[in-house]
Amino acid sequence: MTKDLSHNPIQINTCAICVPIVGPTVEDILSQMQEAVQAKVDLIELRPDMWMKDFHISEEEYIPTIVHLVEEVHSRYEKMPILFTWRTLAEGGETSIRSENYGHLLQAIVDQNIVQAIDVELFAYTDTIGQIIKQAHHQGIQTVISYHNFRKTLERDTLHLYAEQMISAGASVIKFALMPTTSDDVFSVLQFTKELTRKYPQLPRITMSMGQLGQMTRICGNVFGNCLTFGTLGQASAPGQVEVAVLKELV
């Protein structure tokens, strides 16, 4: 079944508010979902890499466990759009997964055809994942191709090369999360966002400068063309996330 593309949760000319669901137990996950629904956010991000570290199961059990949890979340909160993300250890995730199982997991989620968007890390891309992206597009699932650097902010020329690679890989949304060490780094991310907006005006983009130093980009990034910001209702999934109530007042 192909989804209605007009209902994609990440679109240009707007800035959606997304809450990561990071609870360590099924009860916590469902409780956080209820909070997100009550807060009337635009979408939620399911982060099973943060769940699995406390589930104490083998990697072979990850996929059926995660598929079941996604089904349970969807069945209870059917109207809430979902961005599905497994963040690898290399880009700030919490639980290791072999590269082949990363692909198998994304395939299982696309086959399930419940979520509205999936995150695919640029540097985890393979030809097999390229086929999964094509299938996702056919089914109306957005593909957020992402790059995260928790150590530094790269030069904008390099980031633009990465953006080109994301687009070539089939991104329907591009995402960059970078750690600043100076205020110049924060300004550079905002300038990069503005450049992306000018260069690819029809392509939704998610950008942020992380940590306390970069926190302002989560609030004002939409002025430069950012299309989504991550907010917290308690437990954050990355440094510098802002409370949803504040974002609703300012974004």
What's the predicted TM-score (pTM) here? 0.93
104 annotated active-site: no
Amino acid at 32: Q
Which DSSP helix (H) or strand (E) runs through 224?
helix 216-224
What domains sit in the chain, N to C, each tagged with a CATH number?
A: 10-250 (3.20.20.70)
The one catalytic residue in 56, 148, 152, 248 is: 148
pLDDT at 5 (0 to 100): 45
Per-residue pLDDT tens for 204-218? Answer: 999 999 999 999 999
Higher pLDDT, 100 or 8: 100
Higher pLDDT, 3 or 175: 175
- Range name among 39-48, 214-223, 236-245 with the lowest pLDDT average: 236-245
The one catalytic residue in 175, 194, 199, 248 is: 175
148 annotated active-site: yes
Contact 55/47 with Cβ under 8 angstroms?
no
